[in-house]
Amino acid sequence: MFTNNTIQGFANVETPFYYYDLSVLKNTLDACRDASSKYGFHVHYAMKANFNPKVIDMVQSYGFGADCVSGNEVKAAINHGFSKNKVVFAGVGKSDKEINEALDADIFCFNVESVQELEIINELAAAKGKVAGVAIRINPNVDAHTHHFITTGLDENKFGINTWQLNDVADTLRKLSHINFLGIHFHVGSQITDMEVFRNLCNRINEIQDWFEGRGFNVKILNAGGGLGVDYYHPDTNVPDFESYFKVFSQFLNVKPGQEVHFELGRALVAQSASLIARVLYVKNGQKKNFLILDAGMTELMRPMLYQAYHAIENLSQRSEKHSQPNPNHSLVKYDVVGPICESTDCFRKDVELPQSFRGDLIAIRTAGAYGEVMASNYNLRDKVQSVYADSSI
């Protein structure tokens, strides 16, 4: 991602900033489109992962749909050219205002997460003389084998409807005249790299669609959600394994004539396209610990503090002319890489081996294109983090 010319160009840019390499984004989108199109699968982009305008515009240009979890995400998707017929509105806590705005926009589908939500959407749609398309989000009780903060498909999670509630769902659907049942929706978690998880999900989807069809419902849509992980440890070498991911669903999902299979991918599409670039403000050397204090912190990238996420960290200023290796003239030192925020949790990683580092050195925190810029805040009255693109002058 970084050439010597690029690193030299950073010298004139105020840090911290997100650096987007749109060629990486394009390669990833190409790989996803090519792998999914083999099977006629429909991909929706999970807007919550990154709503940087240039990122959204490039994703939209591929003809993908949009998976939204707020009314403002629905608006942003439509404003950036996503077809309303490909916009899905998910989320466990949709407000009446958000539902009304989505109804006015004539979006494709609401992913519904409770019986009460079904009733509210029906009531609001009736007031407008409309019929709302819905898919029922169901907890398949499949263990995603990922961090417990980003597991969403177990019975104890707040998301979705548990299988023991399905009789109530079926009874309610039969009563609601302003609801059009489209299908069933699932999402078991994020950052999943074990394909066996998705095979197990397919088995549960097959069982649950048979349950609905056995009670007279026509299941048109099988929405398997997303969750495909990326390789945070090798940011330059691996594109997410879209081929294996979609192949699992092709092999093990029981797709019947006329059915559509939908996916909601976010992280896998955008994570590797961006890095957070910061400068070393101070170096603190102690007897047991050395600290690199950066001008970026949890206000720019929350993931490591929120759920102990790993990001590769590089000192760009201390690399050799080959620009891919640490400068051999500098010995490696272990640093706790921290930010300036007045919170003890404001630490990107502990005991990171880096070349001996100095005030003013440029630091890259890699694979930050998903759940990075979108989570930024102005806590401590910090300035809003800026964005720089590989295709712009720097």
Q: pLDDT tens, 183-228? A: 999 999 899 999 999 999 999 999 999 999 999 999 999 999 999 9
Q: Is 155 left (phi over 0), alpha (psi -120 to 50) or beta?
A: alpha
Q: Give the whole-angstrom CA distance, residue 54 versus residue 21.
A: 11
Query: How confident is the model over 258-273, as pLDDT tens digits?
Result: 999 999 999 999 999 9
- Residue from 343, 355, 351, 364 nearest 286 by CA: 351
Return the CATH fold of 4-17+272-389.
Lyase, Ornithine Decarboxylase; Chain A, domain 1 (2.40.37)
* Burial (0-12, 13-18, 19+ Cβ within 10 Å), 170: middle
Q: What integer is the mean pLDDT of 107-116?
A: 97
Q: How confident is the model at residue 248 (pLDDT cuts 50, 70, 90)?
A: very high
Q: Note the pLDDT tens digit of each residue in 309-349.
A: 999 999 999 975 444 455 555 689 999 999 999 999 999 99
Pairing status of strand 17-20 against strand 109-112 = unpaired
Sequence ranges of the domains in the chain: 4-17+272-389, 23-271
Say if residue 254's pLDDT is above 70: yes
Distance CA 367, CA 236 (A): 9
pLDDT reported for residue 158: 72
Q: What is the pLDDT of residue 144?
A: 54
Fold of domain 23-271 = TIM Barrel (3.20.20)
Is the Cβ–Cβ distance between 263 and 41 less than 8 Å?
yes
pLDDT at position 391 over 80: no
Using CB atoms within 10 A of its CB, is residue 164 exposed (0-12), middle (13-18) or buried (19+)? exposed
Nearest Cα to 210, choosing from 173, 170, 254? 254
Please state the pTM of the whole predicted model.
0.92
Mean pLDDT of the chain, nearest integer: 92
pLDDT over threshold 90, residue 301: yes
Same fold flag, 4-17+272-389 and 23-271: no
Which residue did the predictor score with more confidence, 268 or 160?
268
Query: Is pLDDT larger for residue 153 or for residue 288?
Result: 288
DSSP state letter for 182? E
